[in-house]
Amino acid sequence: MRRGRAMTLVEVTLALALSTLLAVGALRATTALARSDRAAGQLDAEDVRAAGLERLLEMDLEHALRFRSRPEGLEIQTLARLREGTWEVEHLESAVTYRVERGGSAGGVLLRVQDAGDGRPLVELAARGVRGLSAARPAGGGSASGAGEWQTAADGVAVKVEFERGTAAQFVVRRK
């Protein structure tokens, strides 16, 4: 009777070690790929959020008379207001406040409060995941006032939004 050739214990151990190394390498590669894909998705979401917030601030600041940066956000006195639900611009004087509210598991939220003096302030959620909001005159826009003082918006307004993830969006809105 003839016996078939079997693998020795050393050969089995070597094959097992090589297959383990290959499996670990494949696992690391797929984990790194998933992590980078998730990070890219979060950055895209923040870009979209920043673009929407920029458009909302642009609609308020295009007709701004003056503004002031406060520790909790930004106050704007403007010659236009946004119609509730449609965001159509109505040329009526109003005061708009962007206020960062902190707390909860969702982090900070940015609220937009529009008061047209009719006794019905309009409160809307402007963005989630916001840590801070500040505004100043754009570079070359004249002398800067102290924090909390009203500044004219004749040259436009430079706005900086800080998100919870440590990223920030900066943009300049010019007055019409």
Distance, CA of 163 to CA of 24 (rounded, Å): 36
114 lies in some domain: yes
Q: What angle do CA 28, 34, 40 make, to 5 degrees?
A: 135
* DSSP secondary structure letters along 4-37: PP---HHHHHHHHHHHHHHHHHHHHHHHHHHHHH
Q: Kindly indicate the confidence band of residue 176, based on its pLDDT and cuts at 50, 70 and 90.
A: low
HSE at residue 114, side-chain half, CA atoms within 13 A, is: 24
What confidence score (pLDDT) does residue 144 get?
A: 47
Does any domain span residue 132? yes
Owner of token pair 């019905």? 120
- The answer, yes or no, to whether residue 155 has pLDDT greater than 70, is yes
- Please give the pLDDT value at position 143: 45
Q: pLDDT for 121-153, tens place per residue?
A: 888 888 888 888 888 877 655 444 556 788 887
Report which residue type is found at 27. L
Q: Domain for residue 31, yes or no?
A: no
- Is residue 29 one of the residues assigned to a domain? no
**Has residue 89 been placed in a domain?**
yes
In a domain, 144, yes or no: yes
Q: Answer whether residue 42 shows pLDDT above 60.
A: no
Q: Which of 124, 126, 135 is nearest to 66 (CA)?
A: 135
Q: Is residue 13 part of a domain?
A: no
Q: Encode pLDDT of 56-80 as tens digits.
A: 888 888 888 888 888 888 898 988 8
Average pLDDT (43-47) is: 60
Three-state DSSP class for 134? strand
Angle in degrees, CA 61, 41, 60, rounded to 5: 5
Residue type, 94: S
On whether residue 64 sits in a domain, the answer given is: yes
Q: In terms of residue numbers, what domain contains 154?
A: 42-173
Determine the 3-state secondary structure of 126 from DSSP: strand
pLDDT digits (tens, 9 = 90+) for 28-37: 888 878 777 6
Domain count, the chain: 1
Q: What pLDDT does residue 41 have? A: 58
